[in-house]
């Protein structure tokens, strides 16, 4: 089995199993190319799988993401390595060689049935990164309920080596002797679909994230709105109270030279409006206020969606938030400049959501050994012919798809991923090998 993995040949290496990586892989596979999809996380699905509903259609994100995920996972032309990282890529003649590290999950994927017996007996609790630290998880765990593959993994750094999981596993899938495996892959083209990173709200200290208990970031709120949510309802973390006066601070970490990111992240206005609409549904008595600079409701159906939220009663305040402070009862005072009235004002809220923006994923350049793919001014992968060949990068045979090149919403990521698959296929056909 392991020998089979060594020195394997594929047509295309796709790095990143989020929505863009999946779309590119599926298109290529449907056009008859052999694809290796490498995902660094335990499951494919990227960020989209963790979202609640998506704007402007309010479709359930999982309803859209899961069929695509299982189609990707089942496609005969797609091989997936999860929990794996691309160590280096280098050119070899007309082809590329990459070394991929399959990291040990200490659970044999093919044996694990996802029954979670191990998870229940594990005595270790650590913050659950898939719930953005709102609750804990075990050291051995099925990452999240919609994970694909839906099998357990052991977080060895937090494991106390008690062996309880191994004893209880009905299929003897747990194997502490697993080691990292290095696999050499040959391929003709690569798609970088490594996505974006969220702005770390700690880097905007005037908003008090991490210090004030009821300042959360937008992904934490997103999780609170998902049916598989960490709490039983939308609650504020400080004391489990249902909030009744929620504020959104837009452009947290975007359009902000003071944090080094002057770009607009494209999605925060719309996801905040969407969350506000969902909150109005979940908490009918709550007030929701959105502090904004400009509302970027530009896509198909977005403007109509924005209008709808106004008629639902979401309050929009045009003003840049300067500072947030905490009161004794854990409420928050938002200090902002009201642009309509031209003065500095303060308002009290019992929960503040920071609409964090997108930042480039810094892992990309490290994946290349000799020649490195060029980055643009803001460290996103540089598109060298943006209007004619949007997926083309500075290196021949290396293409970019989705938010690795620029912040994008889901529909635009999918289209950009589609474009990359077309460009890759025609490139390979021209290569003629």
* Residues 349-408, interacting with other proteins (CB under 8 A): 378, 386-391, 406-408
Closest-CA residue to 47 (of 418, 413, 375):
413
100 or 217, CB closer to other proteins?
217
Residues 132, 220: Cα–Cα separation, whole Å? 6
28 or 37, CB closer to other proteins?
28
**Binding of other proteins at residue 237 (CB under 8 A)?**
yes
Could you tell me the two tokens for 122? 């594990």
**Binding of other proteins at residue 429 (CB under 8 A)?**
yes
75 or 204, CB closer to other proteins?
75
Q: Is residue 56 within 8 Å of residue 302, measured between CB atoms?
A: yes
Q: Is residue 244 within 8 Å of residue 152, measured between CB atoms?
A: no
Closest-CA residue to 29 (of 16, 46, 11):
11
Taking contact as CB under 8 A, which single stretch among the options 94-102, 130-138, 192-200, 203-211 is the one that binds other proteins? 130-138
* SS3 assignment, position 239: coil
Residues 51, 228: Cα–Cα separation, whole Å? 10
- Among positions 7, 9, 90, 171, the unique one binding other proteins when judged by CB under 8 A: 171
- Among positions 263, 282, 375, 395, the unique one binding other proteins when judged by CB under 8 A: 263
Residues 348, 247: Cα–Cα separation, whole Å? 9
**Binding of other proteins at residue 422 (CB under 8 A)?**
yes
- Among positions 5, 87, 109, 176, the unique one binding other proteins when judged by CB under 8 A: 176
**Binding of other proteins at residue 205 (CB under 8 A)?**
no
**Binding of other proteins at residue 345 (CB under 8 A)?**
no
Note the residue count of the chain: 433
Minimum Å gap between C-beta 178 and other proteins is 8
193 or 408, CB closer to other proteins?
408
- Among positions 34, 40, 66, 198, the unique one binding other proteins when judged by CB under 8 A: 66
The residue count for binding other proteins (CB under 8 A) is 117
Could you tell me the two tokens for 280? 């109005």
- Among positions 97, 198, 225, 235, the unique one binding other proteins when judged by CB under 8 A: 235
203 or 422, CB closer to other proteins?
422
Taking contact as CB under 8 A, which single stretch among the options 197-205, 271-279, 363-371, 414-422 is the one that binds other proteins? 414-422
Q: Is residue 90 within 8 Å of residue 96, measured between CB atoms?
A: yes
13 or 174, CB closer to other proteins?
174
Minimum Å gap between C-beta 40 and other proteins is 23
**Binding of other proteins at residue 233 (CB under 8 A)?**
yes
Q: Is residue 107 within 8 Å of residue 151, measured between CB atoms?
A: yes
Q: Is residue 280 within 8 Å of residue 288, measured between CB atoms?
A: yes
Q: Where would I find the beta strands (DSSP E) of 59-166? A: 59-60, 78-81, 84-92, 95-102, 126-127, 136-137, 140-141, 153-154
The torsion region of residue 132 among left (phi > 0), alpha (psi -120 to 50) and beta comes to left
Minimum Å gap between C-beta 302 and other proteins is 7
Taking contact as CB under 8 A, which single stretch among the options 37-45, 159-167, 181-189, 193-201 is the one that binds other proteins? 159-167
Q: What is the dihedral of CA 404, 406, 411, 417, to 10 degrees?
A: -40
Site for other proteins in 89-128 (CB under 8 A): 113, 115, 119-120, 123-128
Angle at 75 between CA 74 and CA 77, to 5 degrees: 140
- Among positions 216, 273, 355, 414, the unique one binding other proteins when judged by CB under 8 A: 414
- Among positions 6, 7, 30, 90, the unique one binding other proteins when judged by CB under 8 A: 30
**Binding of other proteins at residue 280 (CB under 8 A)?**
no
Could you tell me the two tokens for 362? 């810094």
92 or 430, CB closer to other proteins?
430
**Binding of other proteins at residue 34 (CB under 8 A)?**
no
Site for other proteins in 10-29 (CB under 8 A): 27-28
Site string for other proteins, 283-302 (x = CB under 8 A): --x--------xxxxxxxxx
Could you tell me the two tokens for 365? 């350049």
- Among positions 9, 341, 346, 371, the unique one binding other proteins when judged by CB under 8 A: 341
**Binding of other proteins at residue 239 (CB under 8 A)?**
yes
Residues 295, 301: Cα–Cα separation, whole Å? 14
Please give the full DSSP string across 167-213, using - where no structure is assigned. HH-TT--B-TT---EEEEEEESEEEE---EEE--GGG-GGG-BTTBT
């Amino acid at each position: 089995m392991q020998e089979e993995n060594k020195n394997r040949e594929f047509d295309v290496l796709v790095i990143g199993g989020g929505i863009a990586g999946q779309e590119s892989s599926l298109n290529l596979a449907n056009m008859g190319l052999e694809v290796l999809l490498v995902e660094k996380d335990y499951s494919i699905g990227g960020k989209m799988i963790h979202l609640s509903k998506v704007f402007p259609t309010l479709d359930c994100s999982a309803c859209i993401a899961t069929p695509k995920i299982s189609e990707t996972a089942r496609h005969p032309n797609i091989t997936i390595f999860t929990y794996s990282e691309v160590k280096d890529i280098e050119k070899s003649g007309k082809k590329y060689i990459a070394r991929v590290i399959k990291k040990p999950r200490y659970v044999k994927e093919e044996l694990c049935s996802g029954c979670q017996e191990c998870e229940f007996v594990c005595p270790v609790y650590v913050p659950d990164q898939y719930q953005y630290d709102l609750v804990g998880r075990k050291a051995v765990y099925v990452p999240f309920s919609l994970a694909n593959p839906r099998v357990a993994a052991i977080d060895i750094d937090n494991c106390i080596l008690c062996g309880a999981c191994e004893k209880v596993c009905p299929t003897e899938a747990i194997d502490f002797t697993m080691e990292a495996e290095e696999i050499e892959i040959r391929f003709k083209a690569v798609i970088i679909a490594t996505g974006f990173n969220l702005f770390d709200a700690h880097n905007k200290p005037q908003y008090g994230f991490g210090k004030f208990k009821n300042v959360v970031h937008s992904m934490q709120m997103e999780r609170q709105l998902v049916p598989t949510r960490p709490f039983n309802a939308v609650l504020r973390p400080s004391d489990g109270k249902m909030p009744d006066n929620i504020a959104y601070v837009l452009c947290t970490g975007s359009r902000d030279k003071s944090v080094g990111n002057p770009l607009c992240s494209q999605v925060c206005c719309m996801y905040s409006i969407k969350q506000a609409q969902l909150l109005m549904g979940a908490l009918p008595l709550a007030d929701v206020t959105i502090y904004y600079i400009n509302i970027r409701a530009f896509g198909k159906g977005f403007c109509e969606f924005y209008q709808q939220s106004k008629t639902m009663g979401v309050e929009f305040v045009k003003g840049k938030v300067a500072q947030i402070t905490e009161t004794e009862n854990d409420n928050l005072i938002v200090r902002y400049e009201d642009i309509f009235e031209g003065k500095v004002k303060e308002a009290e809220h019992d929960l503040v959501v920071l609409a964090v923006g997108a930042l480039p994923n810094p892992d990309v350049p490290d994946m290349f050994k000799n020649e490195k793919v060029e980055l643009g001014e803001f460290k996103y992968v540089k598109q060298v012919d943006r209007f004619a060949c949007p997926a083309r990068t500075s290196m021949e045979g290396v293409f970019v798809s989705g938010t690795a090149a620029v912040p994008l919403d889901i529909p635009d990521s999918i289209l950009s991923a589609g474009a990359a698959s077309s460009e890759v296929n025609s490139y390979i056909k021209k290569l003629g090998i």
